Structure 1
Amino acid sequence: MVSVPRLVVAAPASGSGKTTVATGLMAAFAARGLDVSPHKVGPDYIDPGYHALAVSGSGRTRPGRNLDAYLCGPERVAPLFLHGAAGCDVAVVEGVMGLYDGAAGLGELASTAHVATLLRAPVVLVVDASAQSRSVAALVHGFASWDPRVRLAGVILNKVGSDRHEELLREALDGSGVPVLGALRRVRAVRAPSRHLGLVPVAERRAEAVAAVAALAEQVRAGCDLDALLALARSAPPLADAPWDPADEVARAARPGPGGDGRAAAGSEERPVVAVAGGPAFTFSYAEHAELLTAAGADVVAFDPVRDERLPPGTRGLVIGGGFPEVFAPDLSANEPLRRAVAALAADGAPLAAECAGLLYLARSLDGAPMCGVLPADARMAERLTLGYREAVAVGDSALAVAGTRVRGHEFHRTAVEPGAGEAPAWGLLGPHARAEGFVRGGVHASYLHVHWAAAPGMAARFTARCAAW
């Protein structure tokens, strides 16, 4: 049994202020000297960047980690949480959408309520009170009574207009049985800028983000009962699950047989260098991917395709995740030495794994700006956002998966690639979104689909083995 103080910050709907409260609460706890573990329900990459910044106030460094019951499976949620929260004083989990909103058509799966029950964590509901008074009691009562498995243990009132407004809200909630743990006024100064895929990532506005997080911490400190919130987190019962262990996962995945590749690099004398793209253009990644690659025997080295003109010395494999290359297309294109180096590495047959932004970077062009030219495709901004969970199957063998491997993934982009798939596609999407998608060419696997490798550790084992053998 493992005891971790924890709470989940949820809301009736998107736009209620979950990110404001969760990030401010993380920062306020960290300012007290607490070691805070930050988590986010769902596949979103951007909020965890703000979470990681918020918890750095204690002088400790922890990445923001995702808890996604669709991508990783419900059985992995608590183990992944315990892995990320190991040794912390308190963990704060920011929810997604409305409390009971899950994967489309799949009921509660991957909802904030689902994750809260898997973690046996108390829930604090953030309510946008800007256009109501007594009705807030009916709303809170409904959310508290909907699912008896969900422990709705407190309310934070957001966007409160005045002292009188707060008084009316508190009076209405007096008999609800759900305590009010905070009330926050409307504050425009701490709003983070957004664009086509949500908030602007921390990496693109570091100085402004630091100031915004500090302001959120002060707002939460002044408006919330931090002692009561910490006591609530400490009331969470122990979890019986064992923490997720990347070394164990890779060892199991590397065994011959279904789901295994049998050729992991772990234990070999030479650790192949796997270069992982970062910097402001490539900010989307799950922390567990680097941990799995390291456990599989890789030497993971970060590089910035905007600024670095060379790949890390000894690079034998390349991972290019998601981000905003469309914002940095002129800078990426201007870095011709690195584009040539990436193209040469691909031409030599080295393993390259590219997701979404990585796919665009490997294309011939992006909105007319020359890219690496590894793939016979061109990318452009699109009018519509493509967003949602997907099921997929590997069409053929690649550096990441053997043919027939089934995965769950997530699409999140406002760009289009023509053609959308190569002669050898990366995936065949299943169900209502059925189509061939992505490219496999030599050692290259490029696709729009984001896959969480914690649910498919064989990908890290296989990719590292390919890098070691190249």
Structure 2
Amino acid sequence: MTGPTTPWALPRLVVAASASGHGKTTVATGLLAALRRRGLTVSPHKVGPDYIDPGYHALAAGRTGRNLDPFLVGADRIAPLLRHGASVPTPADVAVVEGVMGLHDGAVGRGDFASTAHVARLIDAPVLLVLDTTAQGRSAAALTLGMAAFDPTVRIGGVILNRVGSPRHETLLRDALAEVGVPVLGAVTRAAEVAAPARHLGLVPVAERAPESLAIVAALAELVESTVDLDAVLDLARTAAPLRVPAWDPVAAVGGPAGGDRPLVAVAGGPAFTFSYAETTELLTAAGADVVTVDPLRDPALPAGTRAVIVGGGFPEAYAEALAGNATLRAEVAAFDGPIVAECAGLLYLGRSLDGAPMCGRLDLTARMTGRLTLGYREAVAAANSPVARTGDAVRGHEFHRTTTDPGHGERPAWRWNGAAHGFVAGRVHASYLHTHWAGHPDAARRLVEACR
């Protein structure tokens, strides 16, 4: 096993495409499952803030899917977080990183910052480009050549042809790619595509469709096994240079556990609240807390001894009636006097109602679905002291929702960005639409544990 500062020759690659919807998730998830079937320990990762794809990755790989997002955590933490994720609970044999959007698409107005290409450079990994070949012939080679030439520091080591129409189409594509010297490592026909069910914010999370999700992952494994040269993929992954940075360490990030007892922190989970980053639990544990999961759909009460509650993101709008039906837990959350931290879906759950269904009533707001998507990175400043931030603390986060609240913020808002107030701080409650990655501001974990005491 590699030590924390020993160079580690971790085979790895990044699965990318020229745009969203071209098959990255299909190929990445299928690769993870197929490589696992070979007996390899595979570490799954996702570029960007997305919570749903890592759920499918985790199911395929048999270990936690983790995000690599330079905007949320800082560019200098990306390689250490990769090494950390590939090291726990055991060292991986290979890491597969699924990209986001198109290869060179970064945060709006920031060039390629936080793009798939940016992350590929930060982790010094080759790119496996997924090509949607619908209605394309030799132009697929020109597209590949242009993607490579646009940033020569990003190495495209091979392509997977996706949505190939016929054997003749495949031959045409392979011949064209050979002309530009890019190897074809696989070809997936249109008829062989496997689709996961979608919803208004993307794919339906794994936790909501466990049996169906298992079947989808199995089908993706078989698809990749039958259409992709896995030996060639592994050879490409092995061309990555050794990782020379130490692994990210949650204990070091929070400065170690403070003295005193270990408070119990309950984190909402289950099908309605599936959006969370693994590092949140790791940081809370490192700061001296014990973390347990509570399912607001099914659990009638908070775990005995709970001292703080975290309610993250998810799809409560799809479970509003069921959440409303668990009246005993709603009443306990409403009366709970410890710190409560809520993000997006958690904000809705703490309000009085969601699309007319009663929620906890801890915050004086109503919420409803809309037809408008609010999406994007945010640079926020804490507008009030709370269990996770001090007034003036700067954080980076992400918004992704089709709901709205009335009012839009409290008398004491949680954050300010773009000159406006957002969210609610009420007593020991901190709630807003902003999703944050605590590896980017680990003091939130220490502050929450201290607030428990």
Quick one: percent identity of the two aligned structures? 65
Shift of 1:190: 1.9
Mapped pair 1:45 → 2:26:
no
After superposition, the C-alpha distances for 1:426-457 in whole angstroms (9 at most, x for unaligned) are 00113xxx310000011100000001100100
Q: Which residue of 2 aligns with 1:140?
A: 144
1:357 to 329, 345, 348: 345
Q: Secondary structure at the match of 2:248?
A: coil
Q: Which residue of 1 aligns with 2:119?
A: 115
What one-letter code is carried by the residue in structure 1 that aligns with 2:40? L
1:273 to 251, 257, 264: 264
Q: TM-score, normalised by structure 1?
A: 0.93
Q: Secondary structure at the match of 1:291?
A: helix
Please give the alpha-carbon distance, in whole angstroms, between the structure 1 residues aligned to 2:248 and 2:120: 18
Q: Which residue of 1 aligns with 2:390?
A: 402
Mapped pair 1:458 → 2:443:
yes
Please give the alpha-carbon distance, in whole angstroms, between the structure 2 residues aligned to 1:190 and 1:168: 24
Q: Counterparts of 1:8-87 in structure 2 under 5 Å?
A: 8-56=14-62, 62-86=63-87, 87=91
1:247 to 247, 251, 254: 251
Q: Secondary structure at the match of 1:244?
A: coil
Q: Secondary structure at the match of 1:20?
A: helix
1:91 to 87, 95, 104: 95
What one-letter code is carried by the residue in structure 2 that aligns with 1:457? P
Mapped pair 1:423 → 2:411:
yes
Structure 1 residues 398 and 377, CA gap change in structure 2 (3 angstroms): same
Shift of 1:175: 1.6
Please give the alpha-carbon distance, in whole angstroms, between the structure 1 residues aligned to 2:217 and 2:160: 18
Shift of 1:268: 2.9
Shift of 1:2: 2.3
Please give the alpha-carbon distance, in whole angstroms, between the structure 1 residues aligned to 2:443 and 2:230: 42
After superposition, the C-alpha distances for 1:83-106 in whole angstroms (9 at most, x for unaligned) are 001110000000000000000010
Worse overlay, 434-443 or 286-295: 434-443
Q: Secondary structure at the match of 1:84?
A: helix
Q: Which residue of 2 aligns with 1:448?
A: 433
Shift of 1:188: 6.3
1:301 to 292, 296, 300: 292
Shift of 1:187: 3.6
Hey, which bits of structure 1, 4+ residues long, moved more than 4 A? none
What one-letter code is carried by the residue in structure 2 that aligns with 1:136? A
Q: Which residue of 2 aligns with 1:176?
A: 180
Q: Which residue of 2 aligns with 1:439?
A: 424
Contact 2:268 2:312 in 1 (8 A): yes
Q: Which residue of 1 aligns with 2:357?
A: 369
Q: Which residue of 2 aligns with 1:341?
A: 332
Please give the alpha-carbon distance, in whole angstroms, between the structure 1 residues aligned to 2:393 and 2:260: 29
Please give the alpha-carbon distance, in whole angstroms, between the structure 1 residues aligned to 2:293 and 2:299: 10
After superposition, the C-alpha distances for 1:7-36 in whole angstroms (9 at most, x for unaligned) are 000001111100000000000000111000
Q: Which residue of 2 aligns with 1:260?
A: none
Please give the alpha-carbon distance, in whole angstroms, between the structure 2 residues aligned to 1:280 and 1:5: 34
Q: Which residue of 2 aligns with 1:414?
A: 402
Q: Which residue of 2 aligns with 1:378?
A: 366
Please give the alpha-carbon distance, in whole angstroms, between the structure 2 residues aligned to 1:189 and 1:275: 40
2:12 to 1, 6, 19: 6
Q: Secondary structure at the match of 1:454?
A: coil
Please give the alpha-carbon distance, in whole angstroms, between the structure 1 residues aligned to 2:38 and 2:307: 44
Worse overlay, 91-100 or 140-149: 140-149
Q: TM-score, normalised by structure 2?
A: 0.97
Q: Secondary structure at the match of 2:216?
A: helix
Alignment coverage as a number of residue pairs: 444
What one-letter code is carried by the residue in structure 2 that aligns with 1:410? H
Contact 2:163 2:193 in 1 (8 A): no
Please give the alpha-carbon distance, in whole angstroms, between the structure 2 residues aligned to 1:187 and 1:85: 34
Q: Which residue of 1 aligns with 2:3?
A: none
Q: Secondary structure at the match of 1:410?
A: strand
Q: Counterparts of 1:186-201 in structure 2 under 5 Å?
A: 186-187=190-191, 190-201=194-205
Contact 2:192 2:223 in 1 (8 A): no
Shift of 1:186: 1.3
Shift of 1:189: 6.2
Please give the alpha-carbon distance, in whole angstroms, between the structure 1 residues aligned to 2:148 and 2:382: 42
Shift of 1:269: 4.0
Please give the alpha-carbon distance, in whole angstroms, between the structure 2 residues aligned to 1:392 and 1:355: 14
Q: Secondary structure at the match of 1:328?
A: helix
Instruction: Name structure 1 gaps, 5 residues minimum.
Output: 57-61, 253-265
CA RMSD of aligned residues (A): 0.9
